[in-house]
Structure 1
Amino acid sequence: MSRIGKKAVPVPSGVTADIAGQTVSVKGPKGTLKFDLNEHVNVAKTDDGSIQVEPKDETKLARASWGMSRTQIANLIKGVTVGFEKKLEISGVGYKAALQGKTLQLSLGYSHDIAYPVPEGIAIAVPKPTEIVVSGIDAQRVGQVAAEIRKYRPPEPYKGKGVKYAGEFIVRKEGKKK
């Protein structure tokens, strides 16, 4: 039994959730999102307005999809009400970021600057030259954009230089011994 799948997803006031077959559409103050559930789970609205997800049968695939589907719906509701954000930190001498219109300019120690076009539906802020904040309503797209920015210069283990997530711990290695 999925412990997370058993819980109903509460729909707060100001948010409308529509269920059409296997598609759940959620509309809130920040926008509209939808998710297509797979055929192994059933979804229904309860009397108190929350959304309940249940497996169609007791197969392993249905039980595996149960909790994931409930979490996806909960993320839709969180996205249209609060939104998601990922913070990135840049460390290294001369490493910096700047936002120019809809393009993020990254100076990461290469012979050229990197121009990253900001995707539609994602907001990028640069409060400090060494800090990037990626935000949006879709958790998957926010994480993907943050991972793409981090991929340009992942943190290296000797000095810790590069782009890392805020709060990420970099396992450091000892350098050469004399």
Structure 2
Amino acid sequence: MDKALSTILLVIASLVCAVLAINAIYPATSISSGALGSASTQMGDRIKSQISIVHSAGELDDSGVWQDTNSDGNFDVFIWVKNIGGTTVDNAENCDLFLGGDDGSWLRISHEDWAGGELPSWNYTIDSGTEWGRETTMMIEVSFESALSSGEYRIKLIIPNGISDEYYFSM
């Protein structure tokens, strides 16, 4: 009888230990698998995303004089960006746009929704629709209070998932 009681107590203790171990390990593996799945999804999105700034031009004529081509009263720089990736870029207004001068300085330009009416700011138009899908070009219009001086400039556009492209141009 002694051996039977000892065996029963050992079996119960083993079961309690097994349940405690499962309760400790399962949530950790569940959380880490969720984190890995999320990281995998984000990495897949980044791999499928790619943009290319294809052209940029300011409202200057051949002699360097400002020409208000769209009659909005502001000096504008136009930037054309093509989505060459395999996925649609959502929320294009959340892109980060930077303009760099030949002196090494950079200026972050806010989308007009967040600029509070201040210039410079930018807005965009998507060719052939409202969705910046595969093989679609977006035109960005950057508005300034006055004309930029002639010189070398750089544009850097970063889409919401962190993918970016840079483009050099001169006016």
Q: Which TM-score applies when normalising by structure 1? A: 0.23
Q: Which has the higher Rg, Structure 1 or Structure 2? A: 2
Work out which structure has the larger RCO, using CA pairs closer than 8 Å and 6 or more positions apart in sequence: 2
Greater share of helix: 2
Q: Which TM-score applies when normalising by structure 2? A: 0.24
